[in-house]
Amino acid sequence: MENNEKISYKLGKKLAIISYSLFLLQILVPFSGIIGLIIAYMNRGRVDDPILCDHFRFQIRIFWIEFFLSILFIFLCLILIGYFLLFGLFVWQTYMFILGLIRLIDDKPIKI
């Protein structure tokens, strides 16, 4: 069942903020990022505003980059460098989601 009904800017912005918050919450609640990913996938085509569409695409892109790099870095933990890389990835991911959230609140586009 597919719902392509457009949503308002106000609702889209609230959903994007919720999605960013869930991505940031995955630090404490591991699978909340997946819920944020689902929200981003479900709403990226339902908003008319290009800024919101970019934010949803940004969330999706950062999630998948972080996911695949974390798998690679987990294997690199066997030679101990993976721990440092995982920490760096955690810092980068947190920075990117906070940056996106701040730009969204300020109604600014995110550079993809």
pLDDT at 87: 95
Does residue 60 carry a pLDDT above 80? yes
pLDDT at 45: 87
- Is the whole model's pTM more than 0.85, yes or no? yes
- Asked if 19 and 59 touch (Cβ cutoff 8 Å), the reply is yes
Alpha helices (runs of H) in the chain, residue ranges in sequence order: 9-25, 32-43, 50-76, 81-105
pLDDT at 13: 94
Does residue 50 carry a pLDDT above 80? yes
